[in-house]
Structure 1
Amino acid sequence: MKMIISYDKNSTLTDEDLHMLTISDDWSFNQTAADLVSNASTSLMPNRLFWVAELGKAQKTAKCPINKAKKLPRHACLPSNVVRHQKTCALVGNSGILLGSDCGSEIDSKDYVVRMNLPLVRGFEKDVGKRTSMTIMNSETVRRLAISAGLKNRSQDAYESRLRGIEGSVLVIHKASIRGLLEALRRYGSRSFVGLASKTMRFGNDKEFNEINRIASTIAGQRFTLWPTMGLTTVIMVNTFCDRLHLYGFYPYQKDLDNRPIPYHYFPDDPLKPIIPNVNGHHNMSWEYNLHRELHRQGVYRMHLGPCRVK
């Protein structure tokens, strides 16, 4: 597969240049290109990558054989195809570029809606929609969730209402975060979710990134060596089970396409210590952003950066 993107690590384009590059509204889906990317990413198909468990009130712990070879817990015997193939998906990032976009109804019109790191939705439905089918959380989000669940001042807990709003949906975490998530759910009254836990992928938060980098390098046609963001990992994974993928809020800059300042997230930070994005420079945000722009151009999936228009 040869899908060389127009920007590389030696490019003279700066972040100031990149954040003002627009994407074409004249977009059409390219089945051939989409199949190439999907075929390169099969190792990240959810039903291969994760074991499945019901969490909270619906947790199954009895009458379920233990797979001793894989050392799975008793509640890991749910159907392996819990994430079914979808025709249309919306993958919603958390960038402040979503504010004023009026993309909510378009996002909710998709068959499957994926969000990341338990964002605030209530109050922003007009721009980000209200439906959630799957939420992918890194270890830091699960840690913050567990801390918030134990706060004595319940008014400081930003996450209980967010969990209530997505009850019954799929939560995706790393296996190491299971204990923290279960403890948080217990404190919140054991709300019901379907949990997917990966043994190997931590969504860009540690050095277990070789498979993501291999796939990204294959797709881009050039070597990618820095830690992949959770966003890139999620895009690659969702593309394996969705025919037509749409990205919203995937924009790493704090100035919009018209050079106006925008917040890093569309919603305010929670009362805990704010997360400083890419503080150690582990991620190559511009490389990833330009990869998304190129795959949009080639018709693999569609990026939405400006206001959504009713067609």
Structure 2
Amino acid sequence: MGILIFMRNLLLVLCLFLVLGFLYYSAWKLHLLRWEDTKYDHLGFLLKLDSRLLVELAAKYANFTEGVCKPGYASALMTTIFPKFSKPAPMFLDDSFRKWTRIRNFFPPFGVKGQDNLIKAILSATKEYRLTPALDSLSCRRCIIVGNGGVLANKSLGSKIDDYEVVVRLNSAPVKGFEKDVGSKTTLRITYPEGAIQKLEQYEKKSLFVLAGFKWQDFKWLKYIVYKEKVSASDGFWKSVATRVPREPHEIRILNPYFIQEAAFTFIGLPFNNGMMGRGNIPTLGSVAVTMALHNCDEVAVAGFGYDTSTPNAPLHYYETIKMSAIKESWTHNIQREKEFLRKLVKSGVITDLSHGI
């Protein structure tokens, strides 16, 4: 009988220790999770962007000679500061676009819902869905997105910009006459109907023409351009649009709208608005192009980014005399939040800002 009582008491003690051990372990795990949560901001970006993790990662690439492309550098840094980052995302739409669930269930500009027939007709004519064979064959690609900001003026960055394998330009920003500051090379020109160059002679001789579709009319417009049909001015555009683009169908691409979606909701944190276009939830083309480059380039740089509203007499764009004071609050964009996003990338070394405007 005494043995049974002893065994009962021993089991009770063991159970008590197990319960206390479980409670202690749970409290430790909860504390650890809370500590982990405090390492990241509400979007998921690392708060301490100059942390030891970044230093250690940069050290792995320290043996590379300056100017030599570092394979996987931008995406490795991006994953360090934003663990949710997933690299695979094709640059352009191809004939399998309807299978990609990330964009299939969203209307433009965040997806392709309702645009199947138009996109299919465009792709059946272009028949090209990648960069050039020469660029695709590179084991490492350095890309630069050239913005239109006045910060580029008199910086003499042209030769540095032209050193990059992929040079991305936006909308109608001119090159001719500004080569010293902005370079002469253009690999891609990303635009939408209202932003496209209207004077044929202003196009560079050789580059890919890339549509960023923000509304269904944009895809309809591109179909007119690809098939060299007459563009209707009454198709819901907010300003006059180009009626011709001096490119053959195989030189035309459609930007993957996932980059607009990811820039807006994942990286910048703009209002979701049920996945529909609304006030202040459209990222600028510059941030969209940076997002595209993070997925498709080993190193990423920018130039001509940033608007310093504290200098009202500074030029707004590098190619015209309009002053910074002319900038107005945008209905579609949230410039302040975009600055915060881009500054995270610059501070952590994910991207390089050649003109130091961000």
For the superposition of Structure 1 and Structure 2, which TM-score range results when normalised by the shorter chain? 0.5 to 0.7
Match of 2:201 among 148, 151, 161: 161
Residue 214 in structure 1 maps to residue 214 in structure 2: no
Match of 1:71 among 110, 113, 120: 120
Shift of 1:238: 1.5
Aligned to 2:209: 171
SS in 2 for 1:290: helix
1:92-137 deviation digits (Å, cap 9, x = unpaired): 0000010011111100111110000031111111111110000000
Q: Distance in 2 between matches of 1:80 and 1:180?
A: 21
Aligned to 1:118: 172
> What RMSD, in angstroms, separates the aligned Cα atoms of the two structures?
3.9
Q: Distance in 1 between matches of 2:129 and 2:331?
A: 40
SS in 2 for 1:71: helix
1:136-170 deviation digits (Å, cap 9, x = unpaired): 0023113xx4xx4xxxxxxxxxx32221x2x3311
Match of 2:289 among 214, 227, 234: 234
Aligned to 1:3: 45
SS in 2 for 1:215: helix
Shift of 1:253: 2.9
SS in 2 for 1:246: strand
- Structure 1: 5+ residue stretches without partners: 7-27, 53-66, 149-158, 204-208, 218-222, 271-275
Q: Distance in 2 between matches of 1:30 and 1:199?
A: 20
The one-letter amino acid paired with 2:222 is I
Aligned to 1:196: 253
Shift of 1:249: 0.5
Shift of 1:239: 1.7
Aligned to 1:102: 156
Shift of 1:261: 2.8
SS in 1 for 2:251: strand
The one-letter amino acid paired with 1:129 is G
Q: Which protein is richer in strand relative to its size?
A: 1
Tell me, yes or no, if the aligned pair for 1:171 and 1:194 is still in contact at 8 Å. Answer: yes
Match of 1:135 among 164, 167, 189: 189
SS in 1 for 2:120: coil
Shift of 1:179: 3.8
Shift of 1:180: 5.2
The one-letter amino acid paired with 1:131 is K
The one-letter amino acid paired with 1:71 is K
Aligned to 2:315: 263
1:249-282 deviation digits (Å, cap 9, x = unpaired): 1112345xxx473221111289xxxxx8665432
Shift of 1:177: 3.1
Q: Distance in 1 between matches of 2:350 and 2:160?
A: 19
Give the paired residue count: 236
1:52-72 deviation digits (Å, cap 9, x = unpaired): 9xxxxxxxxxxxxxx99x834
Which has the bigger relative contact order, CA under 8 A and spacing at least 6?
1
SS in 1 for 2:167: strand
SS in 1 for 2:177: coil
SS in 2 for 1:262: coil
Match of 1:290 among 340, 343, 346: 340
Tell me, yes or no, if the aligned pair for 1:232 and 1:288 is still in contact at 8 Å. Answer: yes
User: What TM-score, normalized to structure 1?
Assistant: 0.62
Q: Distance in 2 between matches of 1:32 and 1:233?
A: 19
User: What TM-score, normalized to structure 2?
Assistant: 0.55
Aligned to 2:353: 303
Shift of 1:211: 3.9
Match of 2:270 among 200, 224, 244: 224
Shift of 1:30: 6.7
Percent identity over the alignment?
22
Bigger shift: residues 175-184 or 225-234: 175-184
Please identify the structure whose Cα radius of gyration is greater: 2
Shift of 1:245: 0.7
Tell me, yes or no, if the aligned pair for 1:119 and 1:162 is still in contact at 8 Å. Answer: no
Shift of 1:295: 1.0
Aligned to 2:91: 46
The one-letter amino acid paired with 2:319 is F
Question: Cα 1:161–1:302, aligned 2, differ >3 Å: closer, same or farther?
Answer: same
- Structure 2: 5+ residue stretches without partners: 1-39, 49-69, 97-115, 214-218, 232-241, 272-280
Shift of 1:230: 1.2
Q: Distance in 2 between matches of 1:5 and 1:180?
A: 47
